Chains A and B, each alone.
Chain A
């Protein structure tokens, strides 16, 4: 199936700095896509080009196979890292205004707004000014403004920064819910551990260039180092003369690294033969953070 969003050889320079350099990406339909990279890697610039806030110097961006920047704006919901609303405007008016800017008719906007305010159980906020709401409340309003026009593609830049655990969970559940209903989500962050929990597909960006992309599991498998972890009861046999490389040793656990020609069964066989009581046996896949650090040679701009 064709990817929902295709970014092809996109480049953007500010004066002499290449913010985004020949980046190509494919975001599959109904996926949760992680756009990863440290601060200053070019994620925001790339997103701004996808949302048509900036125009690429070269390259094309296709949504549903079409290169139409104006149409694209109406089909994307974007929540920037720096959140913002008109402080003096009332909640209802503000959301209606933002929804209409996304090409919704007044009537549609009103219906959708009723739905969302009902869903979050905040219908009585209609006439409240944004400046009178707490930060968490404002985040909800911001989220509604992002998804009210039922975009095909939802782009969330650091969506969990500054959220308390309750709202964080709420937004996470909404993300899954929206995906179920057919939306595709791009999730940009520099916090790699969040990605592993949520994303299926990722792309790593560093200094304006894409380092790697693909399915989360494929990438992890691609970069696995054949490390297996055994948890055991009792004592280990004498480790002198063990035919495997010891990677790490902990209390009641040991991690071993296999050579390419060896199989995980060889490890199990060895310990079973020695009479060790094995409680669990797992392959240890590298974290995205490790992969990233390996790829860029440990240098980030943070």
Chain B
């Protein structure tokens, strides 16, 4: 036991003291934030400006005013309309020269219940957002006409409308109120981190094993400790490096949360708030004074939503699933590392690594699918099977799965059983592979080693 400890210590310290550890620990969250920020930015910026010529044969969406045609559709930030009564052919060939992006032709309408589809002519597609916005505008005009024809009072109709948002409650005894949006976001981020860490730290284990083998130091070490201890020491040591990273991140996130909470209580106090508002106004000059009440309410709502997730349980479960998933996969990575040699080509190693990484990648895709339905059959099975449970289960917990549920219990049991099994399997391959030299090794060969 004390030899394993020595090995763990070496594996751990030699990596944690490395500059690259400090850099990745700092950079990973930043790049994650950057990644999501960028995604958000791209999503919000996709609606570029489009000017559209409209040839309205139905007369429903325009009215003639002198020589011009006035379009009833309202312009907005992304779409700009201009009516025309030129021939369609002329417009089709000439819209670009006239400085427009395309032509929308609305055919004449004989039956209000069955409006023929308008056609958009352009050399470029409208794009999802613009198209939906345009369809919406057209629908609104037709609806208004229909309301008028039916002799209804528009104000009355407006009053008849109701807005209902569903509040979801799950989690049994705890009665935690889960906000689907927050849960989806958290699931995705955790799944992504888990996916990255299993691949990155698993590869690290594989490279470490291969390094010892090609270094030839392995024979010296094996004359002091049994191969199993060396393998376990390496896996635990590298796993601890990952864990250290998570603990640093979790503590930082916790501190940020507390800091945010502290900031909020400060804002509760109107005087402080007033001072702050005055201060910023005084200093910034141009910035308008904040609306204290509105901000306070919004902030409280946000904090409330954040609290809908059982963070404590989630953090513990995440650490457990990280360790379980890491052990499960990295022992397989260790087995592959032991089978490779210094002369292994990258395609050799690819062929052996692929069967390990594919289930991880598939699990990540399953995660995307189950975010819409976190309690369906797919979600259940993928959160039980140890190949995917480390990525799927934290997501289900974010969606409010109770720590006392049978699903969670089964999943933990299967994962523990799973990594005991893969470690046992890997140890058998490892102890033969690590001493093997100059031989090309395939999966077939590795299976044979199991019987030695």
Do B215 and A84 have beta carbons less than 8 Å apart? yes
Q: Say yes or no: is A51 at the interface (Cβ < 8 Å to chain B).
A: yes
Whether, in the assembled complex, B223 has its beta carbon less than 8 Å from a beta carbon of chain A, the answer is: yes
Assess whether A86 is in contact with B216, with CB atoms less than 8 Å apart.
no
A53 touches B217 (CB 8 A): no
Q: Is the CB of A52 within 8 A of B6?
A: no
User: In B1-41, which residues have CB < 8 Å from any A CB?
Assistant: 3, 6-7, 10, 14
Beta-carbon nearest neighbor of B451 in chain A: A15
| B166 lies within 8 A of chain A by Cβ | no
Q: Give the distance to chain B from A286, nearest Cβ to Cβ, in Å.
A: 35
Q: Report A69-122 residues with CB < 8 Å from chain B CB.
A: 73-74, 76, 78-80, 82-89, 97-98, 100-103
* Complex contacts, B219 vs chain A, CB 8 Å: 48, 53, 78, 80, 82, 84
Known: A97-B6, A97-B10, A101-B6. A85 touches B224 (CB 8 A): no
For A188, what are the chain B residues with a Cβ–Cβ distance below 8 Å? none
The answer to whether B14 touches A89 (Cβ under 8 A) is yes
Tell me the bound Cα distance from A97 to B221 in angstroms.
10
The residue in chain B whose Cβ has the minimal distance to the Cβ of A98 is B220
Give every chain A residue within 8 A of B3 (Cβ-Cβ). 101
Binary contact readout A1-21 vs B (1 if CB under 8 angstroms, 0 otherwise): 000000000000011000000
**Complex interface residues of chain A between 168 and 203 (CB less than 8 A to chain B):** none
A97 to B6, CA, bound (A): 8
* Complex CA distance for A17 and B14, rounded to whole angstroms: 40
Q: Is the CB of A101 within 8 A of B221?
A: yes
Q: Does A145 contact B (CB under 8 A)?
A: yes
When the two chains form their complex, are residues A84 and B216 in contact, meaning their CB atoms are under 8 A apart?
A: yes
Q: In this assembly, does B193 line the interface, its C-beta being within 8 Å of a C-beta of chain A? A: no
Q: How far is the CB of A55 from chain B (nearest CB, A)?
A: 10
Q: With A88-B14, A101-B225 given, is the CB distance from A145 to B6 under 8 Å?
A: no
A161 to B7, CA, bound (A): 30
Neighbouring B residues of A97 by C-beta, 8 Å:
6, 10
Residue numbers in B under 8 Å from A78 (CB-CB): 219-220, 223
Could you tell me which residues of chain B, from 162 to 221, have a CB within 8 Å of some CB in chain A? 215-221
Bound Cα distance A6, B223 (Å): 18
Q: Does B255 contact A (CB under 8 A)?
A: no
Residue of B nearest to A149 (CB): B224
Q: Are A101 and B216 in contact (CB under 8 A)?
A: no
The reply to whether A80 and B216 contact each other, CB–CB distance below 8 Å, is yes
Q: Could you tell me how many residues of chain B have their Cβ less than 8 Å away from some Cβ of chain A?
A: 19
CB-contact partner of B215 in A51, A52, A87, A98, under 8 A: A87
- Contact A73 B223, beta carbon cutoff 8 Å: yes
Rounded to whole angstroms, the CA-CA distance of A103 and B3 in the bound complex is: 8
| Of A83, A84, A103, most B-chain CB atoms within 10 Å | A84
Q: Does B215 lie within 8 Å of A85, measured CB to CB?
A: yes
Cβ distance A90 to chain B, nearest Cβ, rounded Å = 10
Question: Which residues between 412 and 452 of chain B lie within 8 Å of chain A, taking CB atoms?
Answer: 435, 448, 452
B276: chain A residues at CB < 8 Å are: none
Are A82 and B216 interface neighbours, CB within 8 A? Answer: yes
Tell yes or no: B222 within 8 A of A by CB: yes
Contact indicator B215/A86 (Cβ below 8 Å): yes
User: Once bound together, how far apart are the Cα atoms of A85 and B209, in whole Å?
Assistant: 14
Give the contacting residue for A76; candidates B216, B223, B448; CB below 8 A.
Answer: B223
Q: A97-B10, A101-B6 are in contact. Are A51 and B223 (CB under 8 A)?
A: yes
Bound Cα distance A98, B3 (Å): 10
CB distance from A101 to the nearest CB of B (A): 4
- How far does the alpha carbon of A14 sit from the alpha carbon of B3 in the complex, in Å? 29
Q: Which of A74, A76, A85 contacts B217 (CB 8 A)?
A: A85
A82 to B219 Cα, complex, angstroms: 8
Q: Given the known A-B contacts A85-B215, A97-B6, are A145 and B220 also in contact in the complex, defined by CB atoms under 8 Å?
A: yes
Which chain B residues lie closer than 8 Å to A84 at the CB level? 215-220
Q: Is the CB of A100 within 8 A of B217?
A: no
Q: Which residues of B contact A145 (CB under 8 A)?
A: 220
A102 touching B10 by the CB < 8 A rule? no
| B218 engages A101 (CB within 8 Å) | no
Contact status A53-B223, CB under 8 Å: yes
User: Which residues does chain B contribute within 8 Å of A54, judged by CB atoms?
Assistant: 435
Bound: A14/B215 CA distance, A: 24
> Which residues from B are CB-within-8-Å of A15?
448
A88 to B217, CA, bound (A): 12
Q: Which residues of A contact B435 (CB under 8 A)?
A: 48, 53-54
Task: Indicate if the CB atoms of B216 and A83 lie closer than 8 Å.
Answer: yes
For A73, the chain B residues whose CB sits under 8 A away are 223-225
In the docked arrangement, what's the CA distance between A86 and B14, Å?
11
Chain A nearest CB from B50 CB (Å) reads: 58
Residues of A within 8 A of B6 (CB): 97, 100-101
| Nearest-Cβ distance from residue A63 to partner chain B, whole angstroms | 13
- In the complex, which residues of chain A have a beta carbon less than 8 angstroms from the beta carbon of B221? 98, 101
A101 interface neighbour in B215, B224, B452, Cβ under 8 Å: B224
Q: State the Cβ distance, A40 to closest chain B Cβ, in Å.
A: 12
* Candidate in A76, A79, A82, A101 with the most chain B CB atoms within 10 angstroms: A101
Q: What residues of chain A lie closer than 8 Å to B215, measured between beta carbons? A: 84-87
CA distance A38 to B160 in the complex (A): 98
| Known contacts A85-B215, A101-B3, A101-B225; A80/B220 CB under 8 A | yes
CB distance from B16 to the nearest CB of A (A): 14
CB closest residue in chain A, given B230: A101
Q: How many angstroms between the C-alpha atoms of A51 and B218 in the bound complex? A: 13
Q: Which residues of chain A have C-beta atoms less than 8 A from B10's C-beta?
A: 97
Q: Give the complex CA separation of A74 and B3 in angstroms.
A: 12
Q: Nearest A residue to B436 by beta-carbon distance? A: A14
Which residue of chain B is the closest to A52 with respect to CB atoms?
A: B223
Q: Mark B287-309, 1 if CB is under 8 A from A, else 0.
A: 00000000000000000000000
Interface string of A42-73 (1 = CB under 8 A from B): 00000010011110000000000000000001
CA distance A74 to B221 in the complex (A): 11
Known: A84-B216, A97-B10. 16 other contacts (CB 8 A): A48-B435, A51-B222, A52-B223, A79-B220, A82-B219, A84-B219, A86-B217, A89-B14, A97-B6, A98-B221, A101-B6, A101-B7, A101-B221, A101-B224, A103-B224, A145-B220
Listed by A's residue number, 8 A-B pairs whose Cβ atoms lie within 8 Å are A48-B219, A51-B222, A53-B435, A73-B225, A76-B223, A80-B216, A101-B225, A103-B224
Q: Name A's B-contacting residues (CB within 8 A).
A: 14-15, 48, 51-54, 73-74, 76, 78-80, 82-89, 97-98, 100-103, 145
The 10 closest A-B pairs by CB, nearest first: A84-B216, A84-B217, A101-B224, A82-B216, A78-B223, A80-B219, A51-B223, A84-B215, A53-B222, A102-B224
